[in-house]
Amino acid sequence: MAESVIKERTLTDLTNEEIGRYSRHLLLAEVGIEGQKRLKASRVLIVGTGGLGAPLALYLAAAGVGKLGIVDFDFVEESNLQRQVIHGTRDVGRPKVASAKDRIKSINPYCDVVIYNTMLSSENALDILKDYDVVADGTDNYQTRYLVNDACVLLGIPNVYGSIFQFEGQASVFYAKEGPCYRCLYPEPPPPGLVPSCAEGGVVGVLPGIVGTIQANEVIKLIVGGGDSLTGRLLLFDSWKMKFRELKLDKDPQCPICGKEPTIHELIDYEQFCGLKKSTTEEPVETITATELKQRLDENEPIQIIDTREPHERAIVKFPEAKAIPLGQMARRIDEFDPAIDAVFICKIGQRSIFAIRALREAGYTGRLLNLKDGINAWAREVDTSLPVY
C-alpha cells in the first residue's frame, strides 16, 4: 500500500466549516481527518486547463486540495466548450487560466489558486514544478508531455498522466522513485504529424471527463496515501466499445532519465527532440493564404484545388470547386493532376495537406504544389465568413 507523498508535512487542523464541507470524505476510514488534512496541506500542479485539466481542477478543488497551480497559455474558444466543462459560454475569448480560477473559486473558496498564464518550457518548468507535491499532466502534445515527465523525474515528483484521442484514453502514474516514467513506456516520440491531434482527429466530449477524473482520483490517493495507484500500470479505455484494459509497465533499466545510468541530467530542447524544428534537409512546402487564393480565383487563373479531408469532414463544410482526394490515394492518383497548372491542397487547418504535397513529390510529381495556410478554417475566417469554422 502506497504511503502519502506528503507524509512528512506538518498538518493543520480543519475548521468546523471544513469539517462540514468535507464530511463525506471524513466518513471514509481510508481518508478520515488525517487524509483530509493532507489534502488541505497539499499542492498540486495541473498542466493544461483543457479537456483533462477541466475535471482535474474541478474535482481536486472540490476535494479540498489546499493549493492548485494551473498552467495554460491558451484562450477559451467556442470549440472547447463541448468538453472543457470548467469554461462557460461567457468565457469565450478569456485566458483559460482566468476562467478556470473563477470556476475553482466558486466551487471552493478555501482552495488557493495559482495561475501561470504561460507555455510550460525548459526555461520555466523546474521553477514552476518545484513548488508542488504532485503534477497532473493534461497536455495534448508530445513536447510538453516529455518536458513534464523529465521535470518530474529530476525533481522526484509523481506525474499523473492522461491522454485522449477520438474514443480512446490512457492513464497512468509515472513516479520514477517507485516505478517507470513516461520515457520507459515511450522512449521516442512518434514522427511529427503522424499522430493527429484532437483538433484534427476529433474527440468525444465525455472522454476527457472520464480520463481526467481517473487522474484526479490518482492524485487524491497519492496525497492521502493508501489504495492501489496506477504506478507501473497503463490503463487503456475505449469509450466506443466501453472497455477498460490494463498493461503492466516495467521500469526500463536503460531509460535515459530514470534508468541505472541516466544520460539526461537537465531539461533538453523538446521541440527538437520531437522533431518539430524544421530540418534543413527537407524541402520546404510553399504556402498560399486564403486571401491570395481568392484573388487568383477571382482573376480566373486556372488552379487545381484538392480537398484532402475525409468525407465526414466535407459534410461539415464544402470547399467550393475542390476535387476530393483522400490523403491515402494521393500518390496513386498522380495522373489526375496537370503539372502545368498550380495545385492547391486544403485540409482543416493546413497540417495534413502538407503530407499530400510530400506524397506527390515523393511520387515524382513535377508541377507546382501549394498548401493552403491554416486550411479551410482560414478560408472561412478570411474569405467566406458565411462558412462555419470547425
Q: In the sheet where 43-47 sits, what is the strand order? A: 112-116, 67-71, 43-47, 134-137, 159-165, 168-174, 233-238, 243-248
**Which parts of this chain interact with Zn ion (CB under 5 A)?**
181, 183-184, 255, 258
Q: At residue 172, what are phi and psi to the nearest 5 degrees?
A: -165, 170
10 Å Cβ neighbour count for 325?
Answer: 18
Kindly tell me which of 93 and 253 has the beta carbon lying closer to Zn ion.
253
Kindly tell me which of 170 and 213 has the beta carbon lying closer to Zn ion.
170
* Cell numbers found for residue 226: 493508501
Angle at 36 between CA 113 and CA 97, to 5 degrees: 15
Kindly tell me which of 132 and 146 has the beta carbon lying closer to Zn ion.
146
- Asked if residues 162 and 170 have their Cβ atoms less than 8 Å apart, the reply is yes
Q: Which residues are catalytic?
A: 198, 347
Residue nearest Zn ion by beta-carbon distance: 255
Burial class (CB in 10 A: 0-12, 13-18, 19+), 285: middle
Q: State the Cα–Cα distance between residues 39 and 277, nearest whole angstrom.
A: 41
- Output Rg (C-alpha) for the chain, integer angstroms: 24
Kindly tell me which of 257 and 288 has the beta carbon lying closer to Zn ion.
257
Count of positions (residues) in the chain: 390
Which CA distances in Å does 354 have to 171, 284, 362?
A: 31, 10, 12
Q: State the Cα–Cα distance between residues 125 and 137, nearest whole angstrom.
A: 13
Kindly tell me which of 97 and 184 has the beta carbon lying closer to Zn ion.
184
